[in-house]
């Protein structure tokens, strides 16, 4: 009976399980809040706040991106140590409670239009995300069976990209409405509170190495976790492959606005369309992984994902239409233009094969990393992802 159950279960059944649903909801709300906060702040800076900061828009945008990513370099190793030494659900609750405090401060800054302080809070929010990262992936193998790992990771990746999409769309809607700062302040605080309340239902996950001695020397611990990651060649190569994917994914995502505006002659709704289809593709590809792998951690799917990324990437390059410069088109008008559907199919394909590429790699690391160091291995992965 047990074997039959393992073959027949679907990853969607995890969404009914207390072992998984509270964790999934917590990380989904966190990713959504990150993106509502970041994107609304970016839009406010781009359109209204540059003068108050005293820097040009491009400088501020690059500064903001750097401030959010910097904590992943500085604090990932310490975050990994904490996640291995202490009970994981309690760490998640503390991190989510910190998010409430951060978002209450952000709410005050939004209402008072203190954009310089909001940039500082972007660094603090990045730090909060840094401490959530290792425990986010290290807790899954403790709550899920081996035959559920691929499905669980698929749901996490799908949820993350849908949260990014909804956060991006939400930021655009907030900018288009009245009282943007006040409404944003309310949304980010309510979302943070909801994330903390849901996190209280995450089951306990025993510490991996409770006797570990913590070392708060940032540089020493960073070098140490990277050494741990290199001890198992297969795990290290998986980390490098994931980092390569985030390098590629970031290249696509950051180019969507310029691609839509300058090449496709579209307005902001076309940017949203590109992001939506890319995210849906990743969701579909992630969900296909469990079926393709036969509920096992199967690294053989990864080359298929890589091949698909290459083919659809090349086709996107060769299919980009050349349009005469016209008034920016909305997404409906864009769909009527010759060549638009092929571009969109390519983006869905890139997303879908990207999901098939990355999900088995995360599951492989979780299954094969040394149990007493799993969070530190994930921390090494986060450091390399941020670098790429």
Span 348-361, pLDDT tens digits: 999 999 999 999 99
DSSP-assigned letter for residue 15:
G
Residue 87 · residue 207 · CB < 8 Å = yes
pLDDT band at residue 295, thresholds of 50, 70 and 90?
confident
Residue 319 · residue 342 · CB < 8 Å = yes
Query: How confident is the model at residue 250, as a pLDDT?
Result: 86
Query: How confident is the model at residue 4, as a pLDDT?
Result: 43
Query: How confident is the model at residue 52, as a pLDDT?
Result: 63
pLDDT band at residue 1, thresholds of 50, 70 and 90?
very low
Question: How far is 315 from 303, CA to CA, in rounded Å?
Answer: 18
pLDDT surpassing 60 at residue 3: no
**Mean pLDDT, range 164-185, rounded to an integer:** 88
Mean per-residue pLDDT of the chain: 88
Question: How far is 293 from 298, CA to CA, in rounded Å?
Answer: 5
Query: How confident is the model at residue 53, as a pLDDT?
Result: 65
Query: How confident is the model at residue 2, as a pLDDT?
Result: 40
3-state DSSP of 101-115? HHHHHHHHHHHHCCH
pLDDT band at residue 172, thresholds of 50, 70 and 90?
confident
**pTM of the full structure:** 0.86
Residue 68 · residue 38 · CB < 8 Å = yes
DSSP-assigned letter for residue 54:
T
pLDDT band at residue 8, thresholds of 50, 70 and 90?
very low
pLDDT surpassing 60 at residue 294: yes
**Mean pLDDT, range 115-121, rounded to an integer:** 89
pLDDT band at residue 223, thresholds of 50, 70 and 90?
very high
pLDDT surpassing 80 at residue 176: no
Query: What string of DSSP letters covers 246-313?
Result: HHHHHHHHHHHHHIIIIIS-B-HHHHHHHHHHHHHHHHHHHHHHHHHHTTS--TTHHHHHHHHHHHHH
Residue 331 · residue 273 · CB < 8 Å = yes
Query: What string of DSSP letters covers 305-355?
Result: HHHHHHHHHHHHHHH-------SPB-HHHHHTSTTHHHHHHHHHHHHHHHH
**Of the ranges 235-249, 262-276, 311-325, which is most confident?**
235-249
What does R_g of the chain's alpha carbons equal in angstroms?
21
Range 212-227 burial, b when 16+ CB lie within 10 A, else e: beeeeeeeebbebbbe
- Per residue in 140-165, pLDDT (tens digit) is 999 998 888 888 999 999 999 899 98
- Per residue in 46-83, pLDDT (tens digit) is 776 556 666 677 777 778 888 888 999 999 999 999 99
Query: How confident is the model at residue 312, as a pLDDT?
Result: 96
**Of the ranges 116-130, 166-180, 253-267, 292-306, which is most confident?**
116-130
Least confident of 8-17, 143-152, 303-312: 8-17
Q: Which residue has the higher pLDDT, 230 or 326?
A: 230
pLDDT surpassing 50 at residue 188: yes
Question: How far is 199 from 128, CA to CA, in rounded Å?
Answer: 15
Closest C-alpha among 314, 248, 240 to residue 282: 248
Question: How far is 269 from 261, CA to CA, in rounded Å?
Answer: 10
Query: How confident is the model at residue 159, as a pLDDT?
Result: 92
Residue 124 · residue 109 · CB < 8 Å = no
Question: How far is 214 from 262, CA to CA, in rounded Å?
Answer: 51
**How many percent of the chain have pLDDT more than 90?**
56
DSSP-assigned letter for residue 1:
-
pLDDT band at residue 329, thresholds of 50, 70 and 90?
confident
Query: How confident is the model at residue 5, as a pLDDT?
Result: 45
- Tell how many helices (H) and how many strands (E) occur in the chain: 16, 0
Residue 183 · residue 58 · CB < 8 Å = no
């Amino acid at each position: 009976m047990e074997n039959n159950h393992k073959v027949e279960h679907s990853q969607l059944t995890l969404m009914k399980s207390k072992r998984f649903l509270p964790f999934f909801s917590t990380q989904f709300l966190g990713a959504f809040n990150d993106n509502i906060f970041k994107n609304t702040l970016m839009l406010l800076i781009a359109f209204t706040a540059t003068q108050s900061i005293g820097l040009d828009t491009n400088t501020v945008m690059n500064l903001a991106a750097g401030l959010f990513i910097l904590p992943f370099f500085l604090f990932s190793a310490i975050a990994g140590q904490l996640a291995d030494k202490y009970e994981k659900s309690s760490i998640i609750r503390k991190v989510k409670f910190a998010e409430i405090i951060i978002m209450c401060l952000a709410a005050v800054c939004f209402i008072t239009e203190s954009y310089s302080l909001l940039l500082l809070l972007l660094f603090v929010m990045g730090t909060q995300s840094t401490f959530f990262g290792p425990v986010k992936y290290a807790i899954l193998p403790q709550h899920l069976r081996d035959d559920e790992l691929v499905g669980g990771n698929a749901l996490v990746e799908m949820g993350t990209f849908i949260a990014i999409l909804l956060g991006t769309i939400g930021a655009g809607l907030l900018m288009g409405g009245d009282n943007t700062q006040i409404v944003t302040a309310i949304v980010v605080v309510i979302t943070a509170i909801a994330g903390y309340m849901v996190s209280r239902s995450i089951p306990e996950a025993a510490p991996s190495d409770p006797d570990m001695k913590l070392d708060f020397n940032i540089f020493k611990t960073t070098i140490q976790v990277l050494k741990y990651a290199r001890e198992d060649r297969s795990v290290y190569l998986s980390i490098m492959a994931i980092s390569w994917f985030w390098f590629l994914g970031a290249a696509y995502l950051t180019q969507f606005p310029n691609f839509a505006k300058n090449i496709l002659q579209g307005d902001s709704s076309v940017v949203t369309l590109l992001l939506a289809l890319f995210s849906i593709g990743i969701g579909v590809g992630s969900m296909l992984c469990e079926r393709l792998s036969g509920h096992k951690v199967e690294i053989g799917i990864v080359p298929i994902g890589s091949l698909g990324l290459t083919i659809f990437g090349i086709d996107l390059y060769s299919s980009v239409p050349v349009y005469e410069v016209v008034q920016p088109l909305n997404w409906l008008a864009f769909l009527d233009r010759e060549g638009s559907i092929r571009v969109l199919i390519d983006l869905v394909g890139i997303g879908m094969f990207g999901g098939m590429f990355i999900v088995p790699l995360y599951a492989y690391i979780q299954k094969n990393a040394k149990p007493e160091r799993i969070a530190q291995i994930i921390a090494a992965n986060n450091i390399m992802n941020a670098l790429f």
